[in-house]
Amino acid sequence: MAQSRYEDGIVAGRLSPDVYAQNFSDLHPPLDMHEARVAADRCYFCYDAPCMQACPTAIDIPLFIRQISTGNPLGAAKTIFDQNIFGGMCARVCPTETLCEEACVREYAEGKPVQIGLLQRYATDAAMGQGQQFFTRAAPTGKKIAVIGAGPAGLACAHRLAMHGHEVIVYEVRPRSGGLNEYGIAAYKSPGGFAQAEVDYILSIGGITVEHGKALGRDFTLAGLAAGYDAVFLAMGLAGVNALRAEGEEAEGVENAVDYIATLRQADDLSRLPIGRRVVVIGGGMTAIDIAVQARLLGAEEVTICYRRGREHMNASEWEQELAAAKGVVIRHWLQPKRVIVEGSCAAGIEMEYTAMVDGRLIGTGETLTLKADQVFKAIGQGFEPTVLNGSGEAIVLESGRIRVDAEGRTSMPKVWAGGDCVLGGDDLTVSAVAQGRDAAESIHRVLTG
């Protein structure tokens, strides 16, 4: 029997099984054939394709939409996968409202863009549902490449290298492949085990071996990999979680949002996940939105996001902010954490300080307010852990806490490339990580076959 959702404290089972199932169903139900054809007919098929220019993977969007409109979803899927082998997940999680759909001429003309994301999902789901493979391996080259991390960047790189006939060994520290697609995406964006289905689809090309439970810096060194392989691609993502730097943040009930989301993603029974009655989330990015919305869907009565700057500064898109508001999340701006209020050993509230911009610098005003909270989630970003590079034998140059690479993804160390969230200049998007992995693979192939 479910607990009362008004009970104080962090408890499990606030809602009934039927409500959990409804809350975590598909956020955007897929288009059927008729809906897809109607949506595709709205495309102008622009000759200069601003939508394509806005896509980090440069998918030929007008072409694949035309293919859908002529009843050829498999051809559309081939067009998508040529540029983005993670086209299925990107169709679900890409912030299309700030990328391709924002650039759509229909958006400028009518305020209603072509539904590019849903059309991309329609095509890729058709191909994956039929097990349709478009890529085969080239003749073996005899070259072997190590990839560190089985997330979007790592697997995109591995897939492209396998296409060129190289042998790829992927080392992944977690029990499953997929990276943030498996462990970090809001559950309502990718239900039904899609992340693993996509991984299986990508690996089915052959020539890729994934070894789980293997970590760089613990099980092997970068210098050792560089000596034993023809090339190495680093795609380990971000492992560190930024601290609040607030008094009392070690109290029970103060948790890392990314860890909680990972637990939620792997949960077989949502009724066993404990959630607070009053939840406060600190942060302004996608992780903050994802944990806040899911806290509401798990039965939290009050969920508040506190962000230190203004609405226009939030990394989360306007659409995502509106989604959170529609789910009952309150977003408050110009607030930074000062002190977690602790009763016994548990969080009971959080004291926030108002902030302001003065001479281009964010400062605390000294004025505070207190919010009641039995659970506080930290969602203020992650950092790269450079200690895993120890023992490289050569210096991997870091800048602003991440790996510095050139335009082709090459690091300062010979035979070593990098991409995804661990590199400098990334925007922490799945689609960008895929592009970096794909392009690094092409660079590696050119060097190895020079």
> Scanning the structure block, which residue is given the tokens 């659970």?
375
Measured CA to CA, the distance from residue 401 to residue 16 in angstroms comes to 44
Q: Which fold has domain 242-381?
A: FAD/NAD(P)-binding domain (3.50.50)
pLDDT band at 395 (very low <50, low <70, confident <90, very high): confident
User: How buried is 22 (Cβ within 10 angstroms: 0-12 exposed, 13-18 middle, 19+ buried)?
Assistant: exposed
Q: What pTM, to 2 d.p., does this model score?
A: 0.94
406-418 pLDDT, tens digit each = 999 999 999 999 9
242-381 matches 33-129 in CATH topology: no
Question: Is the model more confident about 103 or about 388?
Answer: 103
Q: What is the pLDDT of residue 3?
A: 45
pLDDT band at 377 (very low <50, low <70, confident <90, very high): very high
Q: Kindly list the domain boundaries of the chain, sorted by start residue.
A: 33-129, 144-239+384-448, 242-381
Average confidence score pLDDT of the chain: 94
Q: Find out whether 299 and 277 touch, Cβ atoms under 8 Å.
A: no
Question: Would the pLDDT of 6 be above 50?
Answer: no
81-98 pLDDT, tens digit each = 999 999 999 999 999 999
How large is the angle between the packed helices 257-266 and 286-297, nearest 10 degrees?
Answer: 50
Residues 6+ positions from 427 with CB-CB distance below 8 Å = none
Phi, psi of 169 (to 5 degrees): -110, 120
Average pLDDT over residues 320-327: 96
287-302 pLDDT, tens digit each = 999 999 999 999 999 9
Q: Is 33-129 in CATH node 1.10.10.10?
A: no
Question: Would the pLDDT of 237 be above 80?
Answer: yes
Average pLDDT over residues 12-20: 94
Measured CA to CA, the distance from residue 330 to residue 332 in angstroms comes to 6
**CA 71-77-83 angle, 5° bins:** 140
* Structure token digits, residue 26: 């598909």
Q: Which fold has domain 144-239+384-448?
A: FAD/NAD(P)-binding domain (3.50.50)
* Structure token digits, residue 340: 């977690």
CA distances from 141 to 85, 112, 203, 410, 445 (A): 22, 48, 18, 21, 10
Helix (DSSP H) and strand (DSSP E) numbers for the chain? 17, 17
Average pLDDT over residues 248-264: 95
Average pLDDT over residues 125-145: 96
Residue at 248: amino acid letter? G
pLDDT band at 392 (very low <50, low <70, confident <90, very high): low
The neighbouring-strand residues paired with 372 are: 349
